[in-house]
Amino acid sequence: MSKSWKDHSNLSMLTDFYELTMSKGYFDHGMKDTIAYFDLFFRTVPQGGGFAITAGLDQMIDYLLALRFDDEDLAYLRNLKIFSESFLEYLRTFKFSCDIWAIPEGTPIFPNEPIVKVRGPIIQAQLIETALLSTINHQSLIATKTSRIVRSAKGRPVLEFGARRAQGYDAAVYGARAAYIAGVAGTSNTMAGQLFDIPALGTMAHSWVQAFPSEYEAFAAYARSFPGSAVLLVDTYNVLKSGVPNAIRTAHEVLEPMGERLRGIRIDSGDLAYLTQKSRDMLDAAGLKDCRITVSNALDEYIIRDLIQQGAAVDSFGVGERLITSKAEPVFSGVYKLAAIEQNGRIQPCMKFSENATKITNPGNKEVWRFFDRSTGKAMADLIALAGEEIDDSLPYEIFDPLHTWKRKTLTNFTVRKLLEPIFIAGELVYERASIETCRQRCAQELDRLWDSLKRFENPQSYYVDLSQKLWDIRDRLLHSNPDLI
């Protein structure tokens, strides 16, 4: 019987096959203990946005803590007839020993800066590439899309309703987690609620209404079962002619005699702006001004923005397929690239070249710094620097565009913070794992430190992500000294 993802907590075999063939090659050529540095970063913000939100660190930690090759894994690899017994023995005794740094979940991030940095034996650092990318790419994608949707709602709660449209069980569960970090108020996904202590929310489907002889009887039955939390779905037949009138009747005839109030109605089809305005009028006239209106039905940030601009009487939004799949752009452009090799105790920078300038990587062992304006608290710029470089926030600091180096700016009156935090040292977890509420609070707080111009959906302001002079000098030297470019 095959194992499901949920049964298989050890995900060591979740790796592209070439990671294993390269690892055997490193092993064969005496390189298994060579220390390598890899950077995980992304190239472009989805949908042309101004920033992304990082998520997935906690699941990355789970994966690395369980990393091992068991007898079943080794038997599968042995049967392929291309891996030597000595290499399989190496995998059998494999013990993760890398150093890893990462940007905490919920932090706004920008293209080309390391989100995760890995230092360790090259086989180990190579083998974890696929799982790290899968984890960080997926959750960062959903968190980034969710942030757009939540911001479009202008303070109204957004509920994640996407489980049934997600691309698989794990995408539904971990997508709900990422969405909560980025600001949704709750999820319809019960497993996500159970695993991550996210508020699980939901009332009824159209099938409930259809299962009773009449709409009123369906509403009345539900109200009797859940008198303290009754929210009624009013669009099964006709919102204004039957749905809202039957909800009002249920409020007066069933709930009020029990000392309860109708908590809300939900509309899942039709002209949502018009229907919510008319429904609000009817509810208010019936003395139900406290009854809230929720809408759903293929919503995204643009539809929500339009509904609000059209004066829709909406108190909260249920968003499903376009959130959980990031429908407009369902790929996060995260990559994992070799940045340096240690040789005889010295770090030798490595660099990927390309005819496409945006795909040329930044070499070396690096840090990421974020500058904040002392007077406003807003983020001013990010700087990718060599590890060990220090920034004195009492002195002016000149930044420059790494592609158009004549574009320069001197920053003053700032504070700085390193973004990469140690997660594993020599394979041992040293990071105090954050609760999902902490990640969610961090996301909200860090978004407040971005200028509104960065948060525009169309043509957002560009944010400075620059290289230190020392790092730029190494990059420039490598670009002009590589014989393979001649």
Report how far residue 485's alpha carbon sits from residue 475's, in angstroms, rounded to the nearest whole number: 14
Tokens of 59: 């699941």
Tokens of 337: 């690239």
Tokens of 349: 């920078």
Report how far residue 84's alpha carbon sits from residue 76's, in angstroms, rounded to the nearest whole number: 13
Report how far residue 272's alpha carbon sits from residue 451's, in angstroms, rounded to the nearest whole number: 31
The mean pLDDT of 267-280, rounded to a whole number, is 98
User: What's the whole-number average pLDDT of the chain?
Assistant: 95
pLDDT per position as a tens digit, 310-329: 999 999 999 999 999 999 99
Q: What pLDDT is attached to residue 3?
A: 40
3-state secondary structure of 347: strand
Per-residue pLDDT for 114 more than 50? Answer: yes
Cα-Cα end-to-end distance for the chain: 55
Per-residue pLDDT for 396 more than 50? Answer: yes
Positive or negative: CA dihedral 441, 442, 445, 446 = negative
Enumerate residues 6+ apart whose C-beta is below 8 A from 348. Answer: 340, 341, 342
pLDDT per position as a tens digit, 12-22: 999 999 999 99
pLDDT per position as a tens digit, 321-361: 999 999 999 999 999 999 999 988 899 999 988 777 778 89
Phi, psi of 398 (to 5 degrees): -95, 125
Q: What is the pTM of this model?
A: 0.96
pLDDT per position as a tens digit, 145-165: 999 999 999 999 999 999 999
Q: How confident is the model at residue 81 (pLDDT cuts 50, 70, 90)?
A: very high
Q: How confident is the model at residue 10 (pLDDT cuts 50, 70, 90)?
A: confident
Query: Where would I find the beta strands (DSSP E) of 33-110?
Result: 35-42, 52-53, 99-102, 108-109
Report how far residue 182's alpha carbon sits from residue 179's, in angstroms, rounded to the nearest whole number: 5
Residue 469 C-alpha from the chain's centroid: 31
3-state secondary structure of 91: helix
pLDDT per position as a tens digit, 294-311: 999 999 999 999 999 999
Tokens of 289: 């001004």
Per-residue pLDDT for 481 more than 70? Answer: yes
Report how far residue 135's alpha carbon sits from residue 401's, in angstroms, rounded to the nearest whole number: 31
Give the largest Cα separation in the chain, rounded.
86
Report how far residue 25's alpha carbon sits from residue 12's, in angstroms, rounded to the nearest whole number: 18
pLDDT per position as a tens digit, 430-449: 999 999 999 999 999 999 99
Q: How confident is the model at residue 118 (pLDDT cuts 50, 70, 90)?
A: very high
The mean pLDDT of 114-138, rounded to a whole number, is 98
HSE-CB at 187 with a 13 A cutoff on CA atoms is 29
Report how far residue 479's alpha carbon sits from residue 417's, in angstroms, rounded to the nearest whole number: 30
Report how far residue 70's alpha carbon sits from residue 287's, in angstroms, rounded to the nearest whole number: 65
Of 375, 372, 362, nearest in space to 468 by CA: 362
pLDDT per position as a tens digit, 99-109: 999 999 999 99
Per-residue pLDDT for 1 more than 50? Answer: no
Provide the residue count of the chain: 486
Q: How confident is the model at residue 485 (pLDDT cuts 50, 70, 90)?
A: low
At residue 303's C-alpha, the angle toward residues 444 and 310, to 5°, is: 105
Q: In the chain, what percentage of residues exceed pLDDT 90?
A: 93
Report how far residue 114's alpha carbon sits from residue 418's, in angstroms, rounded to the nearest whole number: 12
Of 369, 372, 397, 393, nearest in space to 450 by CA: 372
Domains of the chain: 17-142+330-485 (3.20.140.10), 143-324 (3.20.20.70)
pLDDT per position as a tens digit, 178-205: 999 999 999 999 999 999 999 999 999 9
Q: What pLDDT is attached to residue 343?
A: 86
Helix H or strand E segment including 119: strand 116-121
Q: How confident is the model at residue 483 (pLDDT cuts 50, 70, 90)?
A: low
